[in-house]
Amino acid sequence: MNGEARATEGYWRYRRTEAHQRFRKTRDLLLELRTDPDRAAAEFRWPRLESFNWALEWFDVIADGNAETALELLPGNGEPVRMTFQELSARSDTVACWLRDHGVHRGHRVLVVLDARPELWETLLACLKLGAVVIPCHVALTARELSDRVSRSGARHAVCLDELAEQTSPQVEGLRVAVGGVRRGGRAMGPLPGWHSFPGPEHPDRPFEPSGPTPSDAVAFCYFTSGTTSAPKLVAHSHQSYPVGHLSSMYWNGLLPGDRHLNVSSPGWAKHSWSSLFVP
Domain boundaries, the chain: 3-278
Give the pLDDT score at 91: 97
Whether residue 35 is predicted with pLDDT greater than 50 in this model: the reply is yes
Quickly state the pLDDT bin for 168 (edges 50, 70, 90).
confident
Q: What is the pTM of this model?
A: 0.92
Quickly state the pLDDT bin for 22 (edges 50, 70, 90).
very high
Query: What are the pLDDT digits (tens) for 66-120?
Result: 999 999 998 877 789 999 999 999 999 999 999 999 999 999 999 999 999 999 9
The more confident residue out of 254 and 231 is: 254
> Alpha helix locations (H) across the chain?
3-7, 9-12, 18-32, 37-43, 54, 60-63, 85-101, 118-130, 143-153, 165-168, 247-253, 270-273
Query: Which of left, alpha, beta for 65 (phi over 0: left; psi -120 to 50: alpha)?
Result: left
Rg (CA), the chain: 19
Q: Count CB-CB contacts under 10 A for residue 173.
A: 10
Going by DSSP bridges, is the β-strand pair 157-161/133-136 parallel, antiparallel, or unpaired?
unpaired
Query: What are the pLDDT digits (tens) for 236-280?
Result: 999 999 999 999 999 999 999 999 999 888 898 888 998 899 999
CATH number of this structure's domain 3-278 = 3.40.50.12780
- The residues, ordered by sequence, that sit 6+ positions from 258 with a Cβ below 8 Å of its Cβ are 68
Q: Are 40 and 29 in contact (CB under 8 A)?
A: yes
